[in-house]
Structure 1
Amino acid sequence: MKHYGKENIIADIAQSLNVSTEALDGPNIDSHTGLMHTFFAQEDIYGLRIVEIDGEICLRLSKADKAKYYAMFDMLSA
């Protein structure tokens, strides 16, 4: 019986589904692409956006969901 590591299994599944391996595996924040996907997920889940203010890159919390806003504000302010 052939032993497959996690990477091989993910590669086989991705090939079968005709998608990239990154679509099936968790983001690797050690890469620029993985880090950007993590930021996109944070925006979708928590309303945390990357914006430019006065020429500086900043994180901004959306106030659309007040409960998430105040929870995240408290955590980021600690």
Structure 2
Amino acid sequence: MLKSKVEGKIKALKKLPMKTKIVIAVGLAGILLIFVSEMFPAKNTAESKSVPTESVATDDTDSYKKQIEKSLKMFFLKS
């Protein structure tokens, strides 16, 4: 049963135009490259040597909070 389904799919692929076959082949090759790249991660990347972004984001967030608080205090004091 499974063999007949596979054979039917192969016959259907053979009937497709050449452009469609190329698009399917390129798509499958792209998916294969993505899977292969996940199996072999890069060892030396710039991200591993950089400063953790969480601490930088926290500092930016804290300074933004302080700036907004000052602006709100000034706004309400004028009113």
Looking at secondary structure, tell me which structure has more strand per residue. 1
TM-score, normalization by structure 1: 0.21
Looking at secondary structure, tell me which structure has more helix per residue. 2
TM-score, normalization by structure 2: 0.21
Q: Greater CA radius of gyration, 1 or 2?
A: 2
Higher-RCO chain (CA-CA 8 Å, sequence separation at least 6): 1
